Structure 1
Amino acid sequence: MENFFKSNQIKSNQIKSNQIKSNRILVSALMGLLISPLALSADYHKDDYEKLLKEANKNGVASVLIALEKAPLVEIQSSLITVASRTDSQAELLINELGKETSRTGYWNNSIGQIGLYVTAKGLQKLIDTDLAISFMPDSTRTSRIRAEGEDGSLKEIESLLDKQGFANVEVFLNIDGIEYDISTTGGEDSYKPISSSKLTGVATAANIATSLITSSSNTQGIELISSTATSMRLKNKPSFTAKIDREAYLDLRENENVRAIRPIGFIDKREAYWSAEAMELSAKNPEKNMDIIISLRGGELFSSRTGYMSTSAVTSQENAHARAINSVFTNAGLPPSFNSRYDKTGAYSVALKYSELKKLYAQKDNRILSLELNKPVAKVMLNRSTELINMPAAWNAGYTAAGQNIIVMDTGIRKSHHFFSKNGQSKVIYEACFGTTSWTGYTTGCINPDSNGDSPLGLVGSGEPSVNCSKGCDHGSHVAGIAAGRAGTGSLLPYPLPSGVAPKANLVSVNVSSHKPESDVGIFRIDILAALTAVKSAMTPNTNNNPYTVNMSIGGTLRQQDCFIGTGTGTNTSISRIIKELTSIGVPIVVSAGNDGVSLGIGSRNGMSWPACVQETIKVSSVTNDGVTLVTS
Structure 2
Amino acid sequence: MARIRARAASLLAALAAVAFQATAAEIHPYELAMLQQQVQRTGWVRVMVTLDRSAWRTRSEEQTLRLQALADRLYAELGDSAFPTGRRNNGLGWIGFYTDSAGIALLSRTALAEKFSIDPTGRSWGRERAGDGSFEAIDDALVASPTVEVDLVLATEEPPYTLLPDGSTRFDGPSEVNEVLDRLLTEPFAQHIKGIDRRQNPQLAPVVPAKIDRVAFFGLVESVHVRAVRPRGFVRQPSAIWHEDALRVAAREGRAEIHILLRGGVTYTHLPHQSPKARRYQMDANTRALDEILKAAGVEALPVLSEVDAHMGLVYLFITRPQLEKLFAQRDPRILSVDVNKAIGGLASNN
TM-score norm. by structure 2 comes to 0.82
- Matched residues in 2 for 1:243 and 1:128: separation? 37
- In the alignment, residue 319 of structure 2 is paired with which amino acid? L
**Equivalent residue runs for 1:44-443 within 5 Å:** 44=27, 49=32, 52-53=35-36, 55-71=38-54, 74-76=57-59, 80-141=60-121, 143-148=123-128, 150-186=130-166, 189-195=168-174, 202-203=175-176, 206-218=177-189, 220-228=190-198, 231=199, 235-269=202-236, 271-287=238-254, 290-307=255-272, 309-342=273-306, 343-377=309-343, 439-441=347-349
CA contact (8 A) 2:25 2:107 kept: yes
Once the two structures are TM-superposed, the CA of residue 303 in structure 1 deviates from its matched residue by: 0.5
Q: Is the 8 A contact 1:339 1:349 kept in 2?
A: yes
Secondary structure of the residue aligned to 2:186 is helix
How many Å separate the matches in 1 of 2:33 and 2:162? 45
- CA offsets 1:326-361 (integer angstroms, 9 cap, x no match): 112113333324334111111111111122222111
CA deviation after TM superposition for structure 1 residue 96, in Å:
1.5
| Structure with larger RCO (C-alpha < 8 A, sep 6+) | 2
Contact 1:339 1:351 in 2 (8 A): yes
Cα distance in structure 2, aligned partners of 1:277 and 1:46? 51
3-state SS of the aligned residue for 1:179? coil
Aligned alpha-carbon RMSD (Å): 3.0
SS of the residue corresponding to residue 185 of structure 2 reads: helix
State the distance in 1 between where 2:313 and 2:134 align: 19
Residues in 1 aligned to 2:282 and 2:69: alpha-carbon distance in whole angstroms: 43
Distance 1:357 1:186 in 2: 21
Mapped to 2, the partners of 1:208 and 1:58 lie a distance apart of 40
Question: In 2 relative to 1, CA 190–51 (structure 1 residues): closer, same or farther, beyond 3 Å?
Answer: farther
CA contact (8 A) 1:171 1:240 kept: yes
| Contact 1:184–1:191 (CA under 8 A) maintained in structure 2 | yes
Higher helix share: 2
Query: CA 1:107–1:74 in 2, change beyond 3 Å: closer, same or farther?
Result: closer
Is 1:190–1:301's contact at 8 Å kept on the other side of the alignment? Answer: yes
Unaligned runs of 5+ in 1: 1-37, 196-201, 378-435, 444-634
2:211 is paired with a residue whose SS is strand
What is the Cα deviation at residue 315 of structure 1?
0.8
Matched letter for residue 214 of structure 2 = R
- Considering only CA atoms, is the larger Rg found in Structure 1 or Structure 2? 2
Once the two structures are aligned, what percentage of the paired residues are identical? 28
| Residue-by-residue CA offset, 1:115-172 (whole Å, 9 max, x unaligned) | 1211113312322332322223343446444344544443344345434442223221
Deviations along 1:279-332, one digit per CA (max 9) or x if unpaired, are: 222222222xx422121111121001112x111111111101111211121133
Q: Which runs of 5+ in 2 are unaligned?
A: 1-20
| Contact 2:25–2:115 (Cα < 8 Å) also in 1 | yes
1:49 Cα deviation after fit: 4.7
Report the residue type matching 1:304 in the other structure.
T
**Relative to 1, partners in 2 of residues 1:63 and 1:153: Cα closer, same or farther, differing over 3 Å?**
same
Which letter does structure 1 place at the counterpart of 2:170?
A: S
Please state whether the residue corresponding to 2:196 is helix, strand or coil: strand
Q: How many residues align?
A: 329
Report deviation, 1:217: 2.8
- Residue 175 to residue 122, structure 1, CA distance change in 2 (3 Å): same
